[in-house]
Amino acid sequence: MNIYSQISANKNKTWLIIFLFVIFITTIVFVYGKASGYGLSYAGIGLIISGMMAFASYYYSDSMILGMSGAKQIQKKDNPTLFRTVENLCIGAGVPMPKVYIINDSAINAFATGRDPKHSVICVTTGILGRLNKVELEGVIAHELSHVRNYDIRLMAVVVILVGLVALLADFFMRSLWYGGGRRRDDRGNAQGIFLLIGIVLAILSPIIATIIQLAVSRKREFLADASGALLTRYPEGLASALEKISQDKEPLEAANNATAHLYISNPFKLQSNSKHWFTNLFNTHPPIEERIKILRSM
């Protein structure tokens, strides 16, 4: 797969996800409406609402994501080294200069978001600035710029908001299913029945949604970004040693959640898998870091 086929595949997948989301939400709202005796008019409302959500996710997902992760925009004078690194690599990649954001967290991580190269953002943690040297930082930024250039950012941003929203809903209904059972009230029996129904539907759908994310955010994407990042810096070892430092760092990134996890250069949860977070594991889309380092070292 080369960059150009990757770009068109990403654009198509973005529309597919938006389409599936609209269908899905409309169906759910229709079922809810049917159960409470309204039917088609609810489906119309569902269509309008999900359409608006899809529209919002396309245009505003980047600011939502940045808001969710608590990132702050910086200017050149705040961190000239970081800014110059981004500038240089942009010249090399032939993309416009993205906005630069910083997350105040000592974990080593980074991500890129936006809807196209003209509206893109690169975000790094303060941990990256403190603990990576210049060539390692260049490697990481080049990897992120490759995501920008390949339109990975558009697909991932839409996935974060739309699929994340469905996952969040599923999570919410599942919880109300487990914990709400004890304090049942007679007057809300009907509503609970509908909640139960939606909960079960979403519970069945969750693995399917997870599969969609897996498909959309395929592991190839990370390998391709690693490779084109290395082509940009002409120095694969920089990214390899940065990934090594990231894998040795045991500190999880607090600002990340289920929906945004797959945006980051490496899994922000640091594999603290326990039974409580089965949902997290379901959404774990990162290829093993050791494999990435091995491939970079063999370039």
Partner 1 sequence: MSPTLILIIAIVLIVLFVWSTYNALATGKVRIKEAFSGIDVQLKRRVDLVPNLISTVKGYAKHEKELLENVTKARSSLMNASSTHEKAVSDNMLSSALKSLIGISEAYPDLKASKNFLALQEELSDIEAKIAYARQFFNTNVSGYNSTLVNFPGSVIGNLFGFKQEEFFEAAGAERKNVEVKF
Nearest approach, Cβ of residue 265 and partner 1 (Å): 21
**If we measure between CA atoms, which residue out of 93, 208, 112 comes closest to residue 156?**
112
Query: Which amino acid would we find at residue 280?
Result: T
Q: How far is CA 120 from CA 55, 144, 157, 277, 299, in A?
A: 18, 10, 11, 31, 29
Catalytic residue among 136, 144, 222, 290: 144
Taking CB under 8 A as the criterion, which residues in 154-173 touch partner 1? none
Nearest approach, Cβ of residue 283 and partner 1 (Å): 36
Q: Angle CA(207)–CA(213)–CA(216) in degrees, nearest 5?
A: 145
State how far the Cα of 293 lies from the Cα of 299, in Å rounded to an integer.
10
Q: In the complex with partner 1, which residue's Cβ is closer, 43 or 141?
A: 141
Q: How far is CA 230 from CA 146, 190, 275, in A?
A: 10, 58, 37
251 is a catalytic site residue: no
Binding region for partner 1 (CB under 8 A) out of 91-99, 237-245, 258-266, 291-299 = 91-99
Binding region for partner 1 (CB under 8 A) out of 49-57, 89-97, 199-207, 271-279 = 89-97
**If we measure between CA atoms, which residue out of 216, 296, 230 comes closest to residue 263?**
216
DSSP helix/strand/coil, 101:
strand
Binding mask 228-267 for partner 1 (x = CB under 8 A): ------x---------------------------------
Residue 215 binds partner 1 (CB under 8 A): no
Binding mask 93-122 for partner 1 (x = CB under 8 A): xx----------------------------
Residue 89 binds partner 1 (CB under 8 A): yes
DSSP helix/strand/coil, 3:
helix
State how far the Cα of 195 lies from the Cα of 179, in Å rounded to an integer.
13
Burial class (CB in 10 A: 0-12, 13-18, 19+), 38: middle
Taking CB under 8 A as the criterion, which residues in 192-211 touch partner 1? none
Binding mask 130-159 for partner 1 (x = CB under 8 A): ------------------------------
Among 40, 41, 48, 84, binds partner 1 (CB under 8 A): 84
Residue 87 binds partner 1 (CB under 8 A): yes
> Do 263 and 156 touch, CB atoms closer than 8 A?
yes
Nearest approach, Cβ of residue 228 and partner 1 (Å): 11
Among 1, 23, 40, 91, binds partner 1 (CB under 8 A): 91
Residues that bind partner 1 (CB under 8 A): 84, 87-89, 91-94, 234
Would you name the residues annotated as active-site residues?
A: 144
